[in-house]
Homo-oligomer: A and B are copies of this chain.
Amino acid sequence: MNDIAIGIDIGGTTVTIGIVNNEGAILKEVCSATVDFDAPVTLVESVLGFFNSFTTEYGTEDFCLKGIGIGAPNGNSLNGYIENAHNLSWKGRIPLAEMFEKKIGLPVFLTNDANAAALGEMYFGGAKEMKDFILITIGTGLGSGFVSNGNLVVGHDGHAGELGHIKTENNNRVCGCGLTGCLETFISSKGIIETFKKMKPDDNNEPFISAGTPDITPESIYKAAVRGDEAAINTFRVTGEILGAKLADIVAITSPQAIFFFGGVSNAFDLFAGHAKKAMEENLLPVFRNKVALLKSELINRNAAVLGSAAYILKKYS
């Protein structure tokens, strides 16, 4: 009998559902557009249907379902609710864990997507031997999961880990949250594009990218940097420097063994990580110097939130 769990990653664009085993293999997986789930109950039914199709395909004799793990924006592990997620069409507070529990009668674990990815890194990725580390996801925004002595730091209300909203010294950009100078205004897709546009004004177009074109993305800036575009190279340098200075603060507080980078922008890890490491070291207390590794997630091409949320169930209930 092989223990398995269902892992669900609810993103602003896509929902991924996977059947995960104890070795971190995803036995069956399906992706759907998030807008297809007009209400939470639609997702619940879809997941149950997906699991039925799994048992039809694989049989019921060899597998034992232990529960469901969910990574979702504003997912709160203390109460199992998705709370006011602004990038989902489901408004208000959704008791998603309880909705699943009532249907399947098994444990359900729900947390936010960055925390789920951090658990994935701990159980199946580069943090397997670690008890104290941080995972930072850089994509549309900046998310983070903090692990202390092998446990997620979620805080008294379940919302800890909002690293995207600590303040940079370069505090002149307005954030989507309404505050000014949040780290996310620099360390995110949008932030990197804005930095690039400042490096390369419209009236100074260079061969590789015109900043005036509407299709500037972190990926196109990355490609330009690889081809030697100076403004693109400097964009990742500045991004790394701003990030690294704040990582020094985080290390002073939590002293992690490593900081992992996940999410779309982390594909450009090689271009910003060296600068981030240098800036971090320059701002560290002597006791922390040359101790903290900056690492690319080992799950960067996999669904870390599906793996991590399912793994939490498997480790706790297997």
Contact = CB atoms under 8 A, between A and B. Distances in A.
Contacts of A171: 169
A151 B147 CA distance: 12
A252 B166 contact: yes
Q: What's the number of copies of this chain in the assembled complex?
A: 2
Contacts of A256: 155-156
A163 B288 contact: no
B156 A130 contact: yes
A219 B241 CA distance: 40
B253 A146 contact: yes
Contacts of A204: none
A82 to B, nearest CB: 13
Interface in A36-67: none
Interface on chain A toward B: helix, strand, loop, or mixed SS?
A: loop
A197 interface: no
Nearest to A245: B167
A73 to B, nearest CB: 12
Contacts of A156: 130-133, 255-257, 291
Contact of A252 (B133, B162, B285): B162
A232 to B, nearest CB: 28
A148 interface: yes
Interface in A1-20: none
Contacts of A295: none
Contacts of A161: 253, 255
A165 interface: yes
A283 B162 contact: no
A7 to B, nearest CB: 23
Interface string A139-167: 00000101011010111111111110111
A179 B285 contact: yes
A214 interface: no
Given A151-B148, A177-B286, A166 B249 contact: yes
Nearest to A132: B156
A144 B161 CA distance: 19
A203 to B, nearest CB: 33
A179 to B, nearest CB: 7
Contacts of A155: 132, 148, 254-256
A252 to B, nearest CB: 4
Interface string A231-255: 0000000000000010011101111
Contacts of A283: 167, 179
Contact of A253 (B151, B253, B285): B253
A68 to B, nearest CB: 22
9 contacts: A133-B156, A148-B153, A148-B160, A149-B151, A151-B151, A153-B254, A154-B255, A162-B253, A167-B169
The 5 A-B pairs with the shortest beta carbon distances in the complex, nearest first, are: A155-B255, A160-B255, A156-B257, A132-B156, A166-B249
